Amino acid sequence: MPVENIDIDALKAKALIYRKEILEIVTSAGCGHPGGSLSAVEILLSLYEYKIRHNPQDPKWSDRDRVIISKGHITPAVYVTLANSGYFSKEELKNFRKLGSVLQGHVVTKVPGVEFNTGSLGHGLSVANGLALGAKMLKKDFNIYCLMGDGEIQEGSVWEAAMTAAHYKLDNVCAIVDYNKVQENGPVEEIKGLEPLADKWKSFGWEVREVIGHNFKQLFGALDDFGKIKDKPFVIIAHTIKGKGVSFMEGDRNWHGKAPNLEQLKEALKELEG
């Protein structure tokens, strides 16, 4: 869809709904990962509402673009996105993290729309590369998107994969780093800094774009540049805020993997509704 035809206000309204539903299902489950889910809302919306070629009625369509959720713990955001996109009934969301539900704690392919089971960090980019190599062999023109966390890219396997993508000139791979600056035990820069992050990717042979990861126009612009660049893999470093939208969660590591109680949920929803 041409970018000028996109109703940004409608997307912002959706982002608000997603954030509320993320908090509701995490509260209902009593556990989960709200921080990195709230930071990734606009990224996921940009992919599923704007960029990717997909058909929620036919999740296994062979020509679909593939989205690998390498930060597999952000199930609240992923499941809310997929349910709202029409992959499965929103009714199912209430079973998140419950015994017997398809909505497992970390993403699983039992959920329509999920491409790969993840949860251990540093796996997704290699898998994306494999899909990309295969797509080229089969002369298929679908693209592969890989959403990673910032703390995740401290894993060495990510950089093994980064070298492979550049070596094989995988211009059908778009990595997105949700750079929310906070990991489980504190600020990323204190624990093991990533900077200069853009230079790292550049030196590994990647085309880099940096955007504000909550700004739809910037995200669309970067996503549209991907595809124009030939013979190089493409990475979007999306600067985001962990816990975005809820002031008592923003930038606080304690909300990486903890559910709000009912009172906190009420307070958060009130703030989101403004």
Partner 1 sequence: MSQKIPTRDGFGHELVELGKTNNKIVMVSADLEDATRAEYFKNAYPQRFFSVGIAEQDMVGTAAGLSLLGFTVFINSFAVFLTNRAYDMIRMDLCYNNCNVKIICSHGGLTVGEDGASAQCLEDFAIMRVLPNMKVVCPADELEARKATRAFAQTFGPMYMRTSRAALPVITKPEDVFEIGKANVLREGKDVSIIACGVMVSESLSAANILAKENIDARVINMHTIKPIDAEIIIKSAQETQAIVTAEEHQINGGLGSAVAEVIVKKCPAPMEMVAVNDSFGETGTPEQLLQKFHLKDVDIVDAVKKAIKRKNKI
Residue of the chain from 163, 187, 203, 261 that contacts partner 1 (CB under 8 A): 163
Closer of 133 and 191 to partner 1 (Cβ): 133
Of 165, 120, 163, residue with least CA distance to 144: 165
**Burial class for 10, CB neighbours closer than 10 Å (0-12, 13-18, 19+):** exposed
Nearer to partner 1, 166 or 246 (CB): 166
Q: Are 15 and 240 in contact (CB under 8 A)?
A: no
**Terminal CA-to-CA distance of the chain, rounded, Å?**
31
Enumerate the β-bridge partners of residue 176.
147, 236
Paired tokens of 203: 């030196």
- For position 164 contacting partner 1 by CB under 8 A, the verdict is yes
Cα separations in angstroms, 94 against 22, 108, 244: 11, 17, 22
Q: Phi-psi category of 191—alpha, beta or left, where left has phi over 0 and alpha has psi -120 to 50? A: alpha
Q: Residue 199: exposed, middle, or buried by beta-carbon count in 10 A (0-12, 13-18, 19+)? A: exposed
Q: Is 161 near partner 1 (CB under 8 A)?
A: yes
Pull the structure tokens for residue 33.
Answer: 């990962």
Among 95, 157, 215, 264, interactor with partner 1 by CB under 8 A: 157
Q: How far is the CB of 144 from partner 1 (least distance, A)?
A: 8
Residue 108 CA from chain centroid, whole number:
15
* Site for partner 1 contains 234 (CB under 8 A): no
Q: Does 109 sit near partner 1 (CB under 8 A)? A: yes
In the range 123-142, which residues lie near partner 1 by CB under 8 A? Answer: 123-135, 137-138
For position 105 contacting partner 1 by CB under 8 A, the verdict is no
The smaller minimum CB distance to partner 1, of residues 5 and 62, is found at 62
Please report whether residue 205 would count as binding partner 1 according to CB under 8 A: no
Whole-angstrom Cα distance, residue 249 to residue 85? 26
- Does 64 bind partner 1 (CB under 8 A)? Our answer is no
Sole window of 18-26, 46-54, 115-123, 264-272 interacting with partner 1 (rule: CB under 8 A): 115-123
Distance CA 244, CA 41 (A): 9
Identity of the residue numbered 87: Y
d(CA 209, CA 157): 22
- Footprint of partner 1 on 66-95 (CB under 8 A): 66
Q: Does 221 participate in binding partner 1 (rule CB under 8 A)? A: no
CB of 120 to partner 1, least distance (A): 5
Taking the least distance from each CB to partner 1, the nearer of 38 and 144 is: 144
Residue 52 near partner 1 by CB under 8 A = no
Nearest-approach distance from CB 107 to partner 1, in angstroms: 11
CA distance 80 to 85: 8
Among 50, 92, 102, 168, binds partner 1 (CB under 8 A): 168
Residue closer to partner 1 (CB basis): 177 or 241:
177
Q: Interface with partner 1 by CB under 8 A: which residues?
A: 66, 109, 115-120, 122-135, 137-138, 156-157, 160-161, 163-164, 167-168
